[in-house]
């Protein structure tokens, strides 16, 4: 079993993540994690906090001499902003912001100050997830599996050019600050963010995560919690502010005819390998990977903290009050996309380990080679009748 747990508050000294279950022998350096940490910070629409933090993961356990040992991996990320909070007398926060955990956490935990809830609910925690996800990506890369993402929409600006060249779309998207593959649409998205910011408002949007060269056979149909589709929906849906997740073209498919949706099975030009004409299923059928790219989209609500303010109630006086603004992102869809990648990488790394077993990369490699693929001659079928009996 692969698992991770994070700890840390947004303005506390540091974030910690422990990733347990990684096999031994995986090359791992802090720089491997730094790239994704930096990607998660870079985006149009980011607030002032992102100019303060320079995220870097310190590896304090589980890797020695640049290789994982099989022991729990501990990663620590400093919160530089802690320095400006540690000596401060902070006035109590008593007006809950709609869209945040503020009110619910206070009701549930009996907090005397709304800050206590927001400190842990803040998406600062996602830096720790991205660090763990980067390690999972290293494992997947050792088996040539690639996980990436790009932005499909911000507010009402939607990417029109969508095709199956996900890796290429990803590369183009990385060249701009909204992580959109099409330069013209990216420009419109940036303008949309600037407009919302100038009006004291915020935006959400949709990001696409994908995984390429995932072998068929990860996940299972035999039990609800082993279905890879369900596990991916849960993982990507756990990203703060993500309120909808779909696999493949799920919502569009729901309004179409079956014969227009399901990915027909063909024998490819080699005559030996089974393939699909399309990938509307997003690479999973019956909770098991098909070998086609895995596609998961996350829909993020607009950022809850708005400069304009929203109506609420001051819990100290019981009177109506406007929310108080300190600072915030205006749009975080490009940043959330990187968190989505991390969550997807975690689920796939876990599923790969379940499939292959083994305590070291060396043990996993030959088993990976031997994975059942869609090769016709490896499918064991015969025409003898089968007795459907239980006694
Ligand atoms: C990368 C990232 C950055 C975020 N930045 C902000 C922010 O600056 N301000 C804000 O109000 N919400 C931000 N959010 C969203 C809140 O964390 C989230 O809406 C809040 O915790 C409530 O959780 P829920 O929306 O899942 O109910 C961000 C989310 C992500 C994933
Ligand atoms: C710190 C991060 O994101 C934060 C997520 C966040 C929220 O409410 O979720 C609010 C902002 O923090 P602050 O209140 O300190 O300005 C964001 O900057 C981060 O992503 O590393």
CA–CA dist 364, 352 (Å, integer): 9
Residue ranges of the binding site: 40, 120-122, 286, 301-305, 327
pLDDT digits (tens, 9 = 90+) for 215-273: 999 999 999 999 999 999 999 999 999 999 999 999 999 999 999 999 999 998 888 88
Lining residues, ligand 2, CB within 6 Å: 10, 47, 49, 53, 122-124, 126-127, 240, 327-329
Most distant CA pair in the chain: distance in Å? Answer: 79
How many whole angstroms from 30 Cα to the centroid of ligand 1?
Answer: 26
Nearest Cα to 178, choosing from 161, 159, 163, 164? 159
63: which residues sit within 8 A by CB, 6+ positions away?
A: 28, 69, 73
Residue 380: band (very low, low, confident or very high) from pLDDT cuts 50, 70, 90: confident
How many whole angstroms from 103 Cα to the centroid of ligand 1?
Answer: 15
Query: Quick check: ipTM above 0.90?
Result: yes
Tokens of 100: 């945040």
Return the domain boundaries, the chain. Answer: 3-378
**CATH number of the structural domain 3-378:** 3.60.150.10
Rounded to the nearest angstrom, the gap between the alpha carbon of residue 343 and the centroid of all alpha carbons in its chain is 4
Q: What is the pLDDT of residue 379?
A: 81
Answer whether residue 383 shows pLDDT above 90: no
CA–CA dist 107, 246 (Å, integer): 32
Answer whether residue 372 shows pLDDT above 90: no
CA–CA dist 19, 135 (Å, integer): 9
Q: Which of 123, 336, 337, when mutated, tests ligand 1's pocket best, judged by the most ligand atoms within 8 Å of its CB? A: 123
In the sheet that 146-154 helps form, which strands lie side by side, from edge to edge? 157-158, 146-154, 205-212, 294-300, 242-247
pLDDT digits (tens, 9 = 90+) for 148-184: 999 999 999 999 977 889 999 999 999 999 999 999 9
CA–CA dist 170, 147 (Å, integer): 10
Q: What is the pLDDT of residue 171?
A: 97
Q: Which of 83, 100, 105, 123, when mutated, tests ligand 2's pocket best, judged by the most ligand atoms within 8 Å of its CB? A: 123
Answer whether residue 64 shows pLDDT above 90: yes
Is the CB of residue 100 below 6 angstroms from any atom belonging to ligand 1? yes
Is the CB of residue 303 below 6 angstroms from any atom belonging to ligand 1? yes
Bin 390: left if φ > 0, else alpha if -120 < ψ < 50, else beta.
alpha
- Whether the Cβ atoms of residue 240 and residue 126 lie closer than 8 Å to each other: yes
The reply to whether the predicted model has a pTM over 0.80 is: yes
Residue ranges of the binding site for NADP(+): 40
Closest residue (by CA) to atom 13 of ligand 1?
303
Q: What is the pLDDT of residue 226?
A: 98
> Given the structure tokens 């999973």, which residue do they identify?
284
């Amino acid at each position: 079993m692969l698992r991770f747990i994070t700890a840390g508050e947004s303005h506390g000294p540091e974030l910690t993540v422990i990733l347990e279950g990684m096999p031994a022998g995986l090359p791992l350096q802090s720089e491997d994690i730094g790239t994704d940490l930096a990607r998660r910070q870079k985006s149009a629409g980011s607030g002032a906090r992102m100019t303060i933090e320079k995220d870097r993961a310190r590896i304090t356990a589980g890797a020695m001499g640049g290789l994982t040992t099989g022991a729990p991996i501990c990663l620590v990320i400093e919160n530089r902003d802690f320095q400006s909070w540690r000596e401060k007398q902070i006035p109590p926060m008593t007006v809950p912001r709609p869209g945040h955990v503020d009110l619910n956490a206070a009701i549930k935990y009996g907090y005397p100050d709304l800050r206590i809830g927001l400190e842990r609910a803040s998406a600062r925690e996602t830096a720790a997830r991205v660090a763990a996800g980067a390690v999972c990506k290293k494992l997947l890369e050792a088996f040539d599996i690639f996980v990436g993402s790009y932005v499909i929409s911000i507010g009402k600006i939607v990417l029109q050019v969508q095709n199956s060249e996900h890796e290429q779309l990803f590369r183009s998207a990385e060249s701009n600050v909204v992580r959109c593959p099409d330069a013209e649409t990216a420009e419109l998205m940036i303008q949309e963010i600037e407009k919302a910011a100038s009006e004291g408002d915020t935006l959400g949007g949709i990001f696409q995560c994908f995984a390429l060269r995932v072998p068929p056979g990860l996940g299972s149909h035999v039990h609800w919690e082993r279905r890879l589709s369900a596990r991916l929906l849960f993982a990507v849906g756990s990203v703060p502010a993500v309120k909808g997740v779909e696999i493949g073209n799920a919502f569009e498919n729901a309004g179409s005819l079956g014969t227009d949706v399901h990915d027909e099975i063909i024998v490819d030009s080699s005559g030996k390998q089974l393939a699909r004409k399309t990938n509307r299923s997003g690479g999973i059928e019956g909770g098991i990977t098909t070998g086609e790219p895995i596609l998961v989209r996350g829909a993020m609500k607009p950022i809850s903290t708005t400069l304009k303010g929203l109506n609420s109630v001051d819990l100290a006086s019981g009177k109506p009050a406007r929310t108080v603004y300190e600072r915030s992102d205006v749009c975080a869809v490009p940043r959330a996309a990187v968190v989505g990648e991390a969550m997807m990488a975690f689920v796939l790394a876990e599923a790969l380990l379940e499939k292959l077993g083994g305590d070291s990369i060396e043990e996993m490699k030959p088993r990976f080679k031997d994975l059942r693929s869609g090769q016709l001659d490896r499918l064991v079928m015969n025409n003898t009748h089968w007795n459907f009996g239980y006694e």
